[in-house]
A = this chain, B = another copy of it.
Amino acid sequence: MDFKEQVKQVKAASPKLAASTEEMRNRALLAVRDALLAGKEAVFEANQEDLAQAARDRIAAPILKRLRFDEAKLHDVAAGIQDLVNLPDPLFCTQLKRELDAGLVLERVTCPIGVVGVIFEARPDALVQISALCIKSGNCVILKGGSEALKTNKALFQIINKAVLEAGLPENCMMQLEARSEIKELLECQGSVDLLIPRGSNAFVQYIMDNTKIPVMGHADGICHIYVDADADLKKAVPVIFDAKTQYVSACNAVETLLVHKEIAGRLLPELKEALDQKSVEIRGTKEVAEVISCKEATKEDDTAEYLDYILSVKTVDSVEEAIDHINRYGSHHTDCIITENDETAEKFMNLVDSAGVYRNCSTRFADGYRYGFGAEVGISTGKIHARGPVGLEGLVSYKYKLTGDGHIVEDYASGKKSFHFKEL
């Protein structure tokens, strides 16, 4: 069958899955968990093959680590599924119930998005998590995992798909892509796919955003800032900057640019440099910074650089307003932080910085669905439409309006014969 026809079959399954009860979806989740535990040997075996191939291909160590799927990871995803089962149903929630006139009742009820396409990195546990989130939220899912995990993903998908169908969810509610070439075809499936969630490198996410008419949720850049105000407590500033820069440099929520109020630069920078030197962080500073500490000279490009590395761009500013302007202009609206003891300055910063996360006195690395207590994260969005910041289950949910009448017609209201009374129920 041709690719677009297959995707259309997934679309055709989506209203059926949308109408499934909470009990059915939770039962399917538990069936998936049990099937994964029962079928783990086949998955581990496939994973060994992927790991061996990756070793032959001289894949870098951090990628190998994410590629590995072992007892510990299986335990984590099984526990994650149980957590999801325990969460309240995101569907069939009445968000509004209003009597427009006698016998004419409007309800707004949550429903799934429909068909979600997720393109994700070579991390087999991500396949399980995404599938589970989609089952819980009643969304059909089209999965494309990183090619290094091909065999593991295939084994996992077979187990999950079989369990889901046996538990009674509709045929074709899940689909897996294997070839990278299929991504291009997927991008052309507007009308069948309701939302795309790409994860991976900036360049890749940008490519997806630029080449499809399907709505995309995600973020291409993570250029996060910390602004150290004149009223900062250095005992907080230094550890927070150190953590935000070095705790995991390749994360999108790591800090890339530090803005320092000129009044505090002389005290902060030497102490900060001493800390960052422990991790050999390269500092790229403006000439004002170079007057205080030794550093590499920053260029215009450093204003918009996402290093994802042990590099930090440092700049002095004259005021919180200048810091805000810089962040709104050069940032990526992901997560930006102020270090200050001054409540008024903090409030100004948090209101005026136009980012998904605006922080005070804590590391930008907290920008994460798990750390926010969402239980699971679909992705992080820097867009302001639909979902923003770390996105949990609710990012996979839409709503519909149900209107029930008894032969009501608009002409009666247009002619003035009847009028609405809008009573909340």
A: which residues have CB within 8 A of B? 12, 14-16, 18-19, 98, 100, 104, 106, 113-114, 194-195, 209-210, 213, 215, 217, 233, 235-236, 239-240, 242-244, 247-248, 324-325, 328, 346, 348, 350-363, 365-367, 371-373, 383-386, 388-390, 398-411, 413-414, 420, 422
Contact = CB atoms under 8 A, between A and B. Distances in A.
A360 B106 CA distance: 11
Q: What 6 pairs between A and B have smallest CB-CB spacing? A: A362-B405, A236-B407, A243-B409, A365-B410, A386-B386, A373-B422
Nearest to A324: B15
30 contacts: A12-B328, A14-B354, A15-B324, A15-B351, A18-B354, A19-B348, A104-B362, A104-B366, A113-B385, A195-B384, A210-B213, A240-B408, A240-B409, A242-B409, A247-B410, A247-B414, A355-B400, A359-B404, A360-B402, A360-B404, A361-B404, A362-B404, A362-B405, A362-B407, A363-B405, A366-B403, A367-B403, A385-B385, A385-B386, A389-B400
Given A324-B15, A398-B388, A408 B361 contact: yes
Given A360-B402, A367-B401, A385-B385, 15 more contacts: A12-B325, A14-B354, A15-B328, A15-B352, A18-B354, A98-B373, A100-B372, A240-B408, A359-B405, A362-B406, A366-B405, A385-B398, A388-B398, A388-B399, A389-B401
A228 to B, nearest CB: 13
A351 B110 CA distance: 11
A415 to B, nearest CB: 10
A411 B389 CA distance: 21
Most buried by B among A194, A244, A355, A405: A405
A114 B216 CA distance: 19
Copies in the complex: 2
A409 to B, nearest CB: 4
Contacts of A388: 398-401
A384 B363 CA distance: 34
A38 to B, nearest CB: 31
B408 A366 contact: yes
User: Binding site of A, secondary structure by majority: helix, strand, loop or mixed?
Assistant: mixed
Contacts of A209: 213
Contacts of A353: 15
A384 B139 CA distance: 12
Nearest to A370: B420
Contact of A358 (B359, B401, B410, B414): B401
Contacts of A242: 409
A15 B354 contact: yes
Contacts of A400: 355-358, 388-389
A106 B373 CA distance: 10
Given A194-B385, A373-B98, A363 B410 contact: yes
Contacts of A350: 402
